[in-house]
Amino acid sequence: MENEQQASFPQLNAPAPAFKAKTTHGDRKLEDYRGKWLILFSHPADFTPVCTTEFIGFANAAPKFDEMGCELLGLSIDSLFSHLAWTRNIKEKFGVEIPFPIIEDIKMDVARAYGMVHPGAADTQAVRATFFIDPNGILRAMVYYPMSNGRSIDEFVRLLQALQTSDANGVATPENWCPGKPVIVPPPKTADAANKRASEGYDTVDWYYSTKSL
């Protein structure tokens, strides 16, 4: 019983768990997103106020994610009919069209594969989990929020920008990095490289901490 209640979690920098599911835009599987970034996110339930604000936030940011080559895919343990009714209600009451598909996960197959169900929070609802999957199907980031508090969509935009910048330039990004700010140069791995670091043209505080502008 104890093992049954433990949530299993996917691993960062490993292939994201494969799935095939019904959505409000037809059947979707992980392989459909190969070659693009994917943000897969769960919410506890349709027709709930915090989730409604999050979906409006994701919808408003959808053009920005699209510019970055990223698709959005929602999920909850509700039926397609509930999803459709809820998105229609959001359009009617808030004037916002939900442009991305939402997975019907009544049997919790996807939710369990991604560690979205936490028995300490609820046995039949997914917590606010968000997964960043890269164009090669590799899980690159996971963010979990409690049911009581909404996510920051702006932070997800920033995180995707940071991941893409690191991939493209072989660098790391500091706390609260945003495009246009200096990035962190990987520290040297040998004594000889450490001795040379100060003369390599970076903004170097010490051998292990150097930044540069892109």
What structural domains and CATH numbers belong to the chain?
14-151 (3.40.30.10), 170-213 (3.30.1020.10)
Strands of the sheet with 183-185, listed across from one edge: 183-185, 209-212, 203-206
pLDDT in tens, 27-43: 999 999 999 999 999 99
User: Was 140 annotated as part of a binding site?
Assistant: no
Which 8-state DSSP code applies to residue 172? B
Band of the pLDDT at 4, cuts 50, 70, 90?
very low
To the query of whether residue 51 is one of the catalytic residues in this protein, the response is: yes
The answer to whether 72 and 87 are in contact (CB under 8 A) is: no
Predicted TM-score (pTM) above 0.75: yes
Band of the pLDDT at 8, cuts 50, 70, 90?
confident
Band of the pLDDT at 147, cuts 50, 70, 90?
confident
Marked catalytic residue, from 30, 38, 51, 110: 51
Which parts of the chain are beta strand (E)? 20-23, 26-29, 37-42, 70-76, 102-104, 128-133, 139-145, 183-185, 203-206, 209-212
pLDDT in the model for residue 25: 98
